Amino acid sequence: MAEMAEEKSLNVNEESDPKRKHKGKHDKPKPWDDPSIDHWKIEKFDPEWNQSGLLEVSTFSTLFPQYREKYLQECWPIVKGALKAHGITCELNLVAGSMTVSTTMKTRDPYIIVKARDLIKLLSRSVPAPQAVKILNDEMQCDIIKIGSLVRNKDRFVKRRQYLVGPNSSTLKALEILTGCYILVQGNTVAAMGSFKGLKQVRRIVEDCVLNKKHPLHHIKILMLKRELAKNPALASENWDRFLPQFKKKNVKQKKVKTNEKKPYTPFPPPQQPSKIDQQLESGEYFLSDKKKLAKQWEEKQVKQAEKVAENKKNREQAFVPPEEPKTHNQDVSNIDKEDVIAMASLLKKKAKEFRKQKSIDKIDAEEFIAGPSKPSKKKSKSFR
């Protein structure tokens, strides 16, 4: 009984004080292992930290597509001014189609050359210059996600890339608000700018969308729920999986059912097809000599060749045949107008004749038809002798 009690006491001690891992000479508490310190915070660089400058010149270069040439020429003064403030020189080579950045004696921040490299990368991926210049800030990071090689089928790739953008770029705007990052979809890449946490979310969303693992709208719903859960301090130390929705794929490919049409059953086998010798026997070619056979083949070849030459000539001459001039609406209208004018002229002539007749009737003097003393005629009366 005493042995059983000792075993129980040992088990209780083991549960209360679990064995810790063996600590070596390096497993000592560090001064920066303090929960009050924010390890993600990036302090602004002070030039006094590196007064002597850099020992070596670092240079980065990148190519840009031809359609960006005109825009880069216009915005290059903005880029040059922004880099000059940090002691970085930049060069735009239009002949080779490249942009180059390099450090100088005035450069103090050793990491600014990496930021300048990211700047020219963003400019080559169609990011506007005012937005790309923000990468020089210490709290801003960037990520260029290559999506062109994730899908082989081009039509499928274009369709999935459109899922990421959404109608009127609504999906992209929602992702920008929820992740706090600037996102630009261009060609075979997606350029993103923001914090490390936001860039990590954007990369996962983009890759899941292109690989058809999860639709961006599902990610948006999850991010919205996480934002609401983060407001509750009671749930800060709990697992949120029970609150998040679990989406399942519904677009399962269905196999097409092959329908084999049954032919009507006949007990008789199909008729045997005539062989080449049978055909020659029917046409009488079998009994011809080799010389005559060659002559016949040559004649058939000449006839086919003549037909082909005539067809080609006809096609060539067809290009010089003038097309029929289409009857325009104005011509039809002019013809109608001419007919109307002729009809109107004939109508006016008839009316003019009627008017003259009417006028002659109206001019008749009524006195001529009334009996009265006749006026003496001016003519001399003949004297009778």
Give the 3-state DSSP-derived string for 296-330, with helices as H, strands as E and coil as C. Answer: HHHHHHHHHHHHHHHHHHHHHHHCCCCCCCCCCHH
Confidence (pLDDT) at 233: 86
Domain limit, last residue, from 196, 217, 248: 248
Residue 271 phi/psi, 5° resolution?
A: -65, 145
188 and 174 together in one domain? yes
59 and 146 together in one domain? no
- Looking at the domain assignment, is residue 115 inside a domain? yes
Domain limit, last residue, from 138, 164, 183: 138
Say if CB 171 and CB 164 are below 8 A apart: yes
Confidence (pLDDT) at 305: 94
CA distances from 379 to 259, 375, 383 (A): 124, 11, 12
The secondary structure of residue 279, as a DSSP letter, is: H
Domain limit, last residue, from 248, 266, 292: 248
- Looking at the domain assignment, is residue 17 inside a domain? no
Confidence (pLDDT) at 361: 66
109 and 169 together in one domain? no
End-to-end CA separation in angstroms for the chain: 205
The HSE-up count of residue 280 (CA atoms within 13 Å, CB side) is 9
Q: pTM of the entire structure?
A: 0.56
Q: Which residues contact 218 (CB under 8 A, 6 or more apart)?
A: 245, 247
Task: Report residue 200 as tokens.
Answer: 């990590």
- Looking at the domain assignment, is residue 327 inside a domain? no
- Looking at the domain assignment, is residue 348 inside a domain? no
Interval 178-234: pLDDT, tens: 999 999 999 899 999 999 999 999 999 999 999 988 899 999 999 999 888 888 888
Q: What CATH number should be reported for the domain holding residue 216?
A: 3.30.1370.10
Confidence (pLDDT) at 329: 54
Tens of each residue's pLDDT in the chain, 385 residues: 444 444 444 444 444 444 555 566 677 777 777 778 887 777 888 888 888 888 899 999 999 999 999 999 999 999 999 999 999 999 999 999 999 999 999 999 899 999 999 999 999 999 999 999 999 998 899 999 999 999 999 999 999 999 999 999 999 999 999 999 999 999 899 999 999 999 999 999 999 999 988 899 999 999 999 888 888 888 878 888 888 888 777 766 677 777 778 888 888 888 899 999 999 888 888 888 888 889 988 999 999 999 999 999 998 888 888 877 776 555 555 566 667 778 888 888 888 888 777 777 666 554 554 555 555 554 444 444 4
State whether residue 97 is helix, strand or coil.
coil
* Residue 319: other Cβ atoms inside 10 A: 6
Confidence (pLDDT) at 288: 85
166 and 240 together in one domain? yes
- Looking at the domain assignment, is residue 84 inside a domain? yes
- Looking at the domain assignment, is residue 90 inside a domain? yes
For the chain, the domain total comes to: 2
61 and 156 together in one domain? no
* Beta pairing partners, 60: 101
**Can you say whether residue 126 is alpha, beta or left, with left for phi > 0 and alpha for psi between -120 and 50 degrees?**
left
The HSE-up count of residue 315 (CA atoms within 13 Å, CB side) is 6
Q: Domain range spanning residue 120?
A: 43-138
Stated as kind and residue range, the H or E segment containing 258 is none
186 and 219 together in one domain? yes
80 and 122 together in one domain? yes
Confidence (pLDDT) at 367: 56
Confidence (pLDDT) at 332: 54
